[in-house]
């Protein structure tokens, strides 16, 4: 294909091909698209000196800064993938003439009989559109020749629409499941129990839309599509063997005047070539999802015949043979509802002997139920492992993928060690030798520090935080992309893959550039804001943040709400309230150590007792077991030491233990043993909030494979608050008092934890960053009725 009359050179990638097509389409003349956007985009198309990376960066700058650009681009992307999302055949991309489609005799008034409906992988009846070479069914030999089954043909009867200036055609699919108004109903999915919904996923050939057998390799460099829908269980789904059905909720929904919810699908891969966009689909209150040409997030104006049951996402297989992976995210208002890891094998040609597998590795809400209850989130971060055991982190916004980075396990250990050592050094230092070695407190009587000492601590943390920020955004463009999404105060959702025990110190990230040497200049406006408003989360003068600026709001932990919701097990849902329905105040269950300073402990517990309607304190293991399996209360508070001793003879774990009383210890395995008691079933009803206020109690070092956070979550706690480091007793007590006070006043966990951090910062203490919330930031105590 030539470059056309307008352009004197080939496009610098798919993005420029698409921008050329947008310029050639009627959308370019939308009155909502500003002249500034048109001028700047057009300048990019005729700038011959710019490379592909700079082109993408400048394109995104236009997208997010010029009026009407983001909306126009979203409409164009919807139209671009329209043939893959169920647009009517008359809709087309660019200015190319519409394809000629063979007319169908059947109409909506004359549907086919039920027994003549075509199923997903049955051969098309005579007279329907077919490709020149039908792909073989399972067990049949593969055809010879250069072209793989279902790849783009050089001739044949399949109809395609070619983008102006692009080498990749888009398919206009008049098959029944495309949603085109042919008078045929889409094939029904495999029947499932009433009310259950499933995520269905399959790899298909792009023209025939038939499923590529799971035991086949994909051909290197060939094009395929990912077929996705949510609804009844499909036996063609890669997730069919491990599907997780759940009953649908009955809460009111907010999209399309309460008729359902707009969901968004993002695919991320280092191996496959996917379009870097989000793909919308609509999930009605009942039944399966659909795709349509309507504006995502708005009302439906489409006719039923314009809707398609499947979302088709095109991708290209890598050239190199071997295993290849992709990660699929389904989100709602920024919440990562479910993530799937898909692995397949690439070979020079398609053949038997491969293996395509997929697994759901994180679920925020089961069965895609009650999604309208979830608060909006700005960005989602998914933490998992790749095939080499590295920690893989994807940052995804509502606009699409933002950044992906990888860390080996030894790197994660180093990062955690540096972060925790830096935080510990801000309030205590080790003194003495051998058995005389002890921690010396560096804080004043009010748990604070003078301003010069605070600035010294903040300088040390800012340099460390900037190095962490460069780890997750290694390139200049990646850092700019992250800042575009997260420049303002945001709600960040960290989703750990199931059984994934690698974490990252997100709250310590610092995104204002600083040098490794030299003095940092305090931001006067930022520090004044801290003193003026404890609830503030943004500097009033961010434009003054030049090189080596020290502003508290440069830290993610002070600017953003960062939540770590658990992956929800079968039959469960993400908790947004803790405790029971009641007509009086909440009840607190306390497990305490008797090896603490008695005067400090007495004053601290007296303060807590004044806030709760009832507070029961336990200092013996057996008594605590009876309380937790009987009536645990609305909140559970562990106040004492959390240690990681060496495993003694006869013990099977050297993980963290919680001390209670004088010598009793509790391990995560003990809690699971207690939960065998039927009394623990009440936790499902009460969903208490657990606060672990001790040393290393939320320390998710890779070597600590079984931690209290995951155990309490598994046993129906609504959330867990934990410390990352050893915390001096007086400071630990003040942090808990501030947190419980805010929660009892009706605040959610996110604002309550933010208040703890800011109140401490006001007095010169950065240790509020040492506390982490493993729950939704929107979690709150159930209101009194």
What per-residue confidence (pLDDT) applies to 195? 60
pLDDT, tens digit (0-9, with 9 covering 90-100), for 548-557: 999 999 999 9
Q: Which one, of 343, 397, 506, lies nearest residue 63 by Cα?
A: 397
Half-sphere exposure at residue 638, Cβ-oriented, CA atoms within 13 angstroms = 31
* Alpha-helix residue ranges (DSSP H) falling in 570-620: 598-611
Mean pLDDT of 69-75: 84
Average pLDDT over residues 758-766: 97
Residue 577, H or E segment = strand 577-578
**Phi, psi (rounded to 5 degrees) for 79:** -70, -40
The DSSP annotation for 211-232 comes to BPPTTBPEETT-EEEEEEEEES
Round to the nearest angstrom and report the end-to-end CA distance of the chain: 70
Average pLDDT, rounded, for the chain: 77
Q: Measure the CA–CA gap between 453 and 436, rounded to whole angstroms.
A: 27
Q: Which two tokens stand for residue 431?
A: 């003194």
SS3 state at 458: helix
Which contiguous run of DSSP H or E holds residue 528? helix 524-532
pLDDT at 82: 47
- Judge whether 708 and 722 are in contact, CB under 8 Å: yes
Question: With contact defined as beta carbons under 8 Å apart, do 378 and 562 qualify?
Answer: no
Pairing of strands 780-781, 689-693: unpaired
Contact assessment for residue 311 and residue 277, using Cβ atoms and an 8 Å cutoff? no
Averaged pLDDT, 337-351: 89
**Is-contact 637 693, C-beta < 8 A?**
yes
pLDDT digits (tens, 9 = 90+) for 135-179: 434 343 333 333 333 333 222 222 222 223 333 333 333 333 333
Q: CB of 573 within 8 A of CB of 364?
A: no
Region 710-716: what's the mean pLDDT? 86
pLDDT of residue 657: 82
Instruction: Give the whole-angstrom CA distance, residue 181 versus residue 761.
Output: 62
- Cα(693)–Cα(738) distance, rounded to whole angstroms? 13
What mean pLDDT comes out for the span 637-658?
A: 65
* Separation between Cα atoms, residue 352 and residue 359, nearest integer Å: 21
Would you state the structure tokens that stand for residue 273, as one six-digit string? 């070539």
The CA distance from 742 to 434, in Å, is 42
At residue 160, the pLDDT reads 27
% of the chain beyond a pLDDT of 70? 74
Q: With bands split at pLDDT 50, 70 and 90, how would you rate the model's confidence at 397?
A: confident
Range in 71-75, 440-444, 652-656, 771-775 the model is least confident about: 652-656
- How many angstroms separate the CA atoms of 637 and 590, rounded? 5
SS3 label, residue 440: strand
pLDDT digits (tens, 9 = 90+) for 254-313: 666 778 888 889 898 888 998 878 899 998 888 899 999 888 888 888 888 889 999 999
Highest mean pLDDT: which of 44-48, 618-622, 682-686? 618-622
- Model confidence at 64: pLDDT above 90: no
DSSP string, 351-386: -BS---EEEEEEESSGGG-SGGGSPP-SEEEEEEE-
Q: Which two tokens stand for residue 321?
A: 């043979």
pLDDT tens-digit readout, 78-133: 776 543 333 333 333 332 333 332 233 333 333 323 332 333 444 333 333 333 33
Question: DSSP characters for 288-345?
Answer: --BB-SSPTTS-----GGG-BS-EEEEEE--SS-EEEEEEEEEEETTEEEEEEEEEEE
CA atoms within 13 A on the CB side of 341: 20
Tokens of 607: 């303060």
Does residue 537 carry a pLDDT above 90?
Answer: yes
The tokens 């045929």 sit on which residue? 184
Helix extents (H) in 34-186? 35-45, 52-65, 69-80, 82-85
330 alpha carbon, distance to own chain's centre? 9
Pick 324 or 703 by higher pLDDT.
Answer: 324
Confirm if 689 and 635 have CB atoms less than 8 A apart. yes
Q: What was the pLDDT predicted at 150?
A: 33
C-alpha 726, offset from chain centre: 30
User: Does pLDDT of 565 surpass 70?
Assistant: yes
768 CA to centre of own chain: 25
> What secondary structure letter does DSSP report for 711?
H
| CA pair distance 533, 457, nearest whole angstrom | 22
Name which of 29-33, 134-138, 453-457, 618-622 the model is least confident about.
Answer: 134-138
- Other Cβ atoms closer than 10 A to 102: 10
Q: Bridge partners of 44?
A: none
pLDDT tens digits for range 273-285? 988 788 999 988 8
CA distances to 21, 127, 156, 616, 711 from 330, rounded to whole Å, are: 28, 37, 36, 43, 26
pLDDT band at 134; cut points 50, 70, 90:
very low
Buried b (16+ CB within 10 A) or exposed e, 699-720: bbbeebeebbbbbbbebbbbbb
Supply the pLDDT for residue 34: 92
Most confident of 186-200, 299-313, 510-524: 510-524
Taking residues 572-581, report their average pLDDT. Answer: 80
The 10s digit of each residue's pLDDT in 407-431 is 777 777 788 888 888 998 998 888 8
Q: Which of 626, 628, 605, 601 is nearest to 615 (CA)?
A: 605
What is the per-residue pLDDT for 207? Answer: 84
Host H or E run for residue 457: helix 451-472
Query: Between 85 and 750, whose confidence is greater?
Result: 750
Higher confidence at residue 56 or residue 447?
A: 447
What average pLDDT does the segment 562-585 reach?
76
Q: How confident is the model at residue 733 (pLDDT cuts 50, 70, 90)?
A: very high
What Å distances lie between residue 182 and 3, 104, 227, 313, 527, CA to CA?
36, 6, 21, 23, 65
Q: What is the mean pLDDT of residues 63-75?
A: 84
What percentage of residues in the chain have a pLDDT greater than 90?
35
Indicate the pairing of strand 379-385 with strand 260-268.
Answer: unpaired
Element holding 521 (H helix, E strand): strand 521-522
Is residue 10 over pLDDT 50? yes
Band (pLDDT 50/70/90 cuts) for residue 381 is confident
Whole-number Å distance between alpha carbons of 196 and 526? 50
The full set of domains in the chain, from first to last, is 1-97+156-170 (no CATH), 173-374 (2.60.40.10), 406-563 (no CATH), 581-748+762-773 (3.40.50.720)
pLDDT in the model for residue 183: 31
């Amino acid at each position: 294909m030539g470059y056309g009359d307008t352009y004197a050179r080939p496009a610098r990638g798919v993005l420029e091909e698409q921008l050329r097509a947008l310029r050639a389409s009627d959308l370019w003349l939308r009155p909502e698209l500003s002249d500034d956007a048109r001028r700047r985009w057009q300048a990019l198309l005729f700038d011959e000196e710019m490379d592909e990376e700079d082109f993408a960066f400048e394109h995104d700058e236009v997208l997010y800064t010029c009026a009407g650009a983001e909306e126009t681009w979203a409409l164009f992307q919807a139209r671009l993938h329209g043939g893959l999302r169920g647009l009517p055949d008359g809709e087309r991309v660019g200015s190319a003439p519409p394809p000629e489609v063979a007319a169908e005799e059947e109409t909506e008034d004359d549907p086919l009989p039920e027994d003549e409906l075509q199923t997903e992988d049955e051969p098309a009846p005579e007279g329907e559109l077919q490709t020149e070479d039908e792909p073989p069914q399972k067990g049949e030999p593969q055809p010879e020749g250069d072209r793989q089954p279902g790849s783009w043909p050089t001739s044949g009867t399949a109809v395609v629409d070619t983008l102006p200036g692009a080498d990749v055609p888009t398919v206009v699919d008049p098959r029944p499941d495309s949603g085109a108004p042919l008078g045929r109903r889409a094939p029904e999915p495999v029947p499932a129990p009433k009310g259950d919904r499933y995520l269905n996923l399959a790899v298909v050939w792009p023209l025939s839309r038939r499923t590529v057998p799971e035991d086949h390799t994909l051909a290197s460099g060939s094009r395929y599509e990912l077929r996705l829908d949510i609804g009844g269980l499909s036996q063609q789904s890669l997730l069919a063997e491990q599907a997780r059905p759940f009953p649908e909720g009955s809460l009111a929904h907010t999209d399309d005047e309460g008729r359902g919810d707009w969901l968004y699908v993002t695919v991320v891969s280092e191996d496959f070539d996917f379009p870097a966009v989000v793909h919308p689909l609509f999930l009605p209150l009942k039944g399966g999802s659909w795709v349509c040409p309507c504006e995502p997030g708005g009302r439906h104006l489409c006719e039923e015949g314009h809707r398609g049951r499947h979302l088709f996402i095109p991708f290209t297989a890598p050239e190199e043979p071997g295993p290849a992976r992709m990660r699929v995210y389904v989100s709602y208002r920024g919440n990562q509802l479910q993530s799937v890891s898909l692995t397949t094998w690439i070979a020079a040609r398609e053949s038997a002997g491969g293996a395509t597998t997929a697994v759901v590795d994180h679920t925020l809400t089961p069965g895609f139920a009650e999604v309208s209850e979830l608060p909006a989130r700005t960005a989602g971060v998914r933490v998992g492992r790749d095939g080499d055991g590295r920690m893989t982190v994807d940052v995804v916004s509502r606009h699409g993928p933002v950044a992906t980075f990888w860390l080996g396990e030894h790197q994660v250990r180093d990062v955690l060690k540096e972060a925790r050592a830096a935080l510990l050094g801000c309030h205590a230092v080790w003194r003495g030798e051998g058995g005389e070695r002890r921690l010396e407190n560096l804080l004043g009587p009010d748990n604070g520090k003078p301003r010069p000492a605070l600035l010294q601590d903040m300088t040390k943390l800012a340099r460390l935080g900037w190095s962490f920020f460069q780890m997750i955004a290694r390139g200049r463009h990646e850092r700019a992309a992250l800042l575009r999404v997260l420049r303002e105060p945001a709600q960040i959702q960290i989703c750990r893959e199931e059984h994934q025990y690698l974490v990252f110190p997100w709250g310590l990230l610092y995104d204002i550039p600083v040098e490794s040497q030299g003095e940092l200049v305090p931001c006067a406006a930022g520090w004044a804001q801290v003193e003026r408003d404890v609830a503030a989360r943004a500097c009033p003068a961010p434009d003054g943040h030049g090189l080596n600026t020290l502003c508290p709001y440069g830290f993610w932990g002070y600017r953003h709400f960062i939540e770590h919701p658990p992956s929800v097990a079968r039959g469960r849902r993400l908790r947004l309230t803790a405790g029971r329905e009641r007509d009086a105040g909440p009840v607190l269950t306390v497990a305490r150590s008797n090896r603490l300073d008695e005067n400090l402990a007495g004053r601290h517990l007296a303060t807590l007792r004044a806030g709760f309607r009832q507070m029961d304190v336990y200092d013996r293991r057996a008594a605590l077991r009876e309380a937790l399996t009987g009536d645990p209360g609305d909140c559970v508070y562990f106040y004492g030491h959390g240690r990681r001793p060496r495993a003694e003879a006869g013990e099977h774990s050297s993980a963290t233990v919680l001390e209670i009383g004088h010598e009793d210890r509790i391990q995560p395995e003990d809690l699971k043993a207690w939960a065998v008691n039927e009394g623990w079933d009440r936790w499902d009803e009460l969903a208490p909030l657990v606060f672990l206020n001790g040393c290393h109690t939320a320390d998710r070092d890779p070597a600590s494979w079984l931690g209290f956070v995951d155990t309490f979550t598994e046993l129906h706690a609504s959330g867990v608050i934990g410390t990352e480091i050893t915390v001096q007793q007086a400071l630990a007590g003040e942090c808990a008092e501030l947190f419980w006070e805010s929660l009892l006043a009706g605040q959610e966990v996110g604002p309550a934890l933010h208040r703890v951090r800011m109140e401490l910062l006001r007095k010169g203490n950065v240790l509020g960053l040492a506390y982490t919330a493993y729950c939704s930031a929107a979690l709150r105590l159930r209101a009194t009725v």
